[in-house]
Structure 1
Amino acid sequence: MDPKTTFLSCDWGTSSFRLRLVERAGLKVLAEAKSKEGNAAIAELWKEANQPPEQRAEFYLAVLQKHLKTLEEAVKTSLDDVSVVISGMASSTIGMMELPYKPLPFATDGSDLAVKTIAPTEENFQHPVLLVSGVRSDDDVMRGEEVQLVGCRFETTTQEQLFLHPGTHAKHVLVRDGQAVALKTYMTGELFSLLSKESILVASVEEGQKLEEGRNLHWFEQGVRHSQKANVLHNIFLVRTNELFKKASKAENYFYLSGLLIGSECHGLVASPPTRITLAGEDVLVAHYGAALRILGLAERCHIETKTAEEVTLNGHLSVLNHQQPK
């Protein structure tokens, strides 16, 4: 495989691992491997192995090597010398090598992100590795989303643009003049999981349906609108009384809770909307956030663009690679 025309994209999170062989031209995915071997799980295996600290990176690269062999079998050729770009929690305290955060601001073209180059070795790992570190403000951090922001290819303009990445810990990053200048994290996804799976609300919600089914969208809209009118700590108790008084089914309540939390997260955008919002992430979450932004009237006040998690991750990885290894 020609290392000048292909690269390996590795998105290595806390609980998941994904590796893709990608054509640089057109970003076509030629082969893919994924597993639950996230950094948290590998960190536990590393502790159990009781190896010297200097062998930590090698231990993690052995996991990567296993998945590289799967890709080689899929494309029926050697991938030696093909560069690997790794983002996510691999550069954290539970990853292969802890790297310091890049302080805000950073260039949205990926030219000045904090990157560690790991040279290939003939004996153990025959691939150049670019390990991308995260980004920090004075009071907030992110790892992985900075690459996805780069992959959105923001226009360089004095107008304020917002990168919105929904997830367990949703990220809002403000972009201006080709620089990411401010960062806020919202624990929306984690709070939703805790409330719907471990709180008194467990008996009042039911997962499994889609937003567009039945009256789910109506109840999602109710949640978004209610989030703008009352304190969220009161609103979430209405999930219980909705079911108790038979106002909503458990499935409808599930979307009502989702609307409450997403609406609360986006509350500040209503008062001060950016010129553009780029919403990037997993399809289901992007659909929910897109609906919430429309319900809040933001689609009428600013341009909203949606992108897939795969698209922005691959774009971001290639941008970082091109800046580190110019064509």
Structure 2
Amino acid sequence: MNNKIEWIALDWGTTHFRAWAMGAGGQVLDQVKSDQGMGKLERDEFETVFLEHVEKWLVGRNSPVSAFACGMVGAKQGWIEAKYIETPCAPPRNEQLVQAPLSDPRVQVFIVPGLSQHKPADVMRGEETQIAGFLASMPTFDGVACMPGTHSKWVTISKGVVKHFTTFMTGEMFGLLAKKSVLRHSVGGRGWDNAAFIGGVKLAMDTPELVAQELFSIRPQTMLHDLPANEARARLSGLLVGAELRATEHLWSSRDVCIIGDPKLSEHYNKALEFYNCQATIADGDMMTLGGLHAVALSAMEQAS
């Protein structure tokens, strides 16, 4: 199999490492995942961790292989800094990649830079590759990409160019409140109640000034009115997502919307937007990452040939 591997795709974030062995036509031949994200590593550990994970793909090869990487691996604290490209701009191209230092001659690693915005100040790493993958499949898209996650992004795209973007700490806030705050006693488990979620969204959309008060009210509702944990959890999410949607209403209420991310999380956002008569297209985040890296890899290999 190893000589059928044409390149390696690498998504290396703060908390995760994911690599795919890629064959002809973008076919996934094998993959490996771990929790050895950038946040756990010192700069001199990246090469060792990378080679440990992909060694099985290098054994017996007749020629060197290139890996194309996105995510926090290119941050200042990562393997090597791939400096941001300032918007407005198209997603990064192969000539803007940064090569990581690597002593093993069997493989070379190229890192995709993230994007920055001067005013208001904002940055992204990893999402630019998902946008590239989405545009590779829908090159004429003109609208807004909603990219839910730990730090949700809303990205305005026109004529293949990222015009503007804004970031919300919605996912991180949910995690902190669910695990570290007084609400942790009320929202345990993984249960879900869509009606409670939409109720939270609607409340935040209608009265955003009351979100902080309503967040706390989840606790006494569980104590005094036996609010089930699945409803409490969904309501917490709905309040936070609703606040995000209220702030971005001027974007999604008037333009085409694509949601790019984890399918389950994307579906929650889609349900909320559907409640307000916004019909969005949904694209799987992993597939868009692979699509973006594939576009960069093809361009780089064509230029090298």
**What TM-score do you get using the length of structure 1 for normalisation?**
0.83
SS of the residue 1:96 aligns to: coil
- The 2-side partners of 1:113 and 1:208 are apart by 44
Deviations 1:160-195 (A, max 9, x none): 411111111111111012100111110001100111
Contact 1:152 / 1:278 at 8 angstroms: preserved in 2? no
Structure with higher helix content: 2
- The 2-side partners of 1:324 and 1:103 are apart by 22
Gaps of 5+ in 2: none
- The 2-side partners of 1:247 and 1:310 are apart by 39
User: Are 2:213 and 1:234 aligned?
Assistant: yes
RMSD: 2.3
User: Are 2:40 and 1:63 aligned?
Assistant: no
Q: Which residue of 1 aligns with 2:77?
A: 94
For residues 1-327 of structure 1, the aligned pairs below 5 Å read: 1-2=2-3, 6-25=6-25, 27-43=26-42, 46=43, 56=44, 59-71=45-57, 78=61, 80-108=63-91, 110-111=92-93, 114-118=96-100, 124-138=104-118, 139-153=121-135, 155=138, 160-209=142-191, 211=192, 216-230=193-207, 231=209, 232-246=211-225, 248-272=227-251, 273-299=253-279, 304-326=280-302
- The 1-side partners of 2:101 and 2:150 are apart by 33
Gap change, CA 1:79 and 1:169, over 3 Å in 2: farther
Report how far residue 79 of structure 1 moved.
7.7
Residue identity in the other structure for 1:67: H
**Alignment coverage as a number of residue pairs:** 296
Contact 1:163 / 1:280 at 8 angstroms: preserved in 2? yes
- The 1-side partners of 2:149 and 2:139 are apart by 26
Identity of aligned residues (%): 27
SS of the residue 2:302 aligns to: coil
**What TM-score do you get using the length of structure 2 for normalisation?**
0.89
Residue identity in the other structure for 1:275: R
- The 2-side partners of 1:66 and 1:250 are apart by 41
Deviations 1:240-271 (A, max 9, x none): 23313316312211001111111111113434
Report how far residue 131 of structure 1 moved.
0.9
Contact 1:224 / 1:296 at 8 angstroms: preserved in 2? no
Residue identity in the other structure for 1:288: H
